[in-house]
Amino acid sequence: MMNCSEVTRVAGDFLGRRLRLRQRIGVLMHIAMCRGCRAYIEQLRLTLLGLRSLPAAAGAREHRDDLLQHFRQRKGRE
């Protein structure tokens, strides 16, 4: 069974259904017994749901591409 630290580390993958069956079962067993992790998973789920419901900002793709280019340039300098 997973511990709280492991569950919080894989919570996004759990909600995105990107875990292997064994990991998914481990999370489900843990949150069945841990109120804190159950609340954390639910808060994360609601946050992701809220973010997905926001309209896409005009020009967001261009801003994202600019930021990615900037980070790549900085990484090349280090």
Write out the residue range of the structural domain in which residue 17 sits.
1-54
If one counts every other C-beta atom within 10 angstroms of the C-beta of residue 56, the result is 7
64 found inside a domain: no
49 found inside a domain: yes
6 found inside a domain: yes
37 found inside a domain: yes
pTM of the model: 0.69
Total number of domains in the chain: 1
pLDDT by residue for the chain (78 residues), tens digit each? 899 999 999 999 999 999 999 999 999 999 999 999 999 999 999 998 888 887 776 666 677 777 778 777 876 665
71 found inside a domain: no
Q: CA-to-CA distance for 13 and 6, rounded, in angstroms?
A: 12
* 3-state secondary structure labels for all residues of 47-77: HHHHHHHCCCCCCHHHHHHHHHHHHHHHHHH
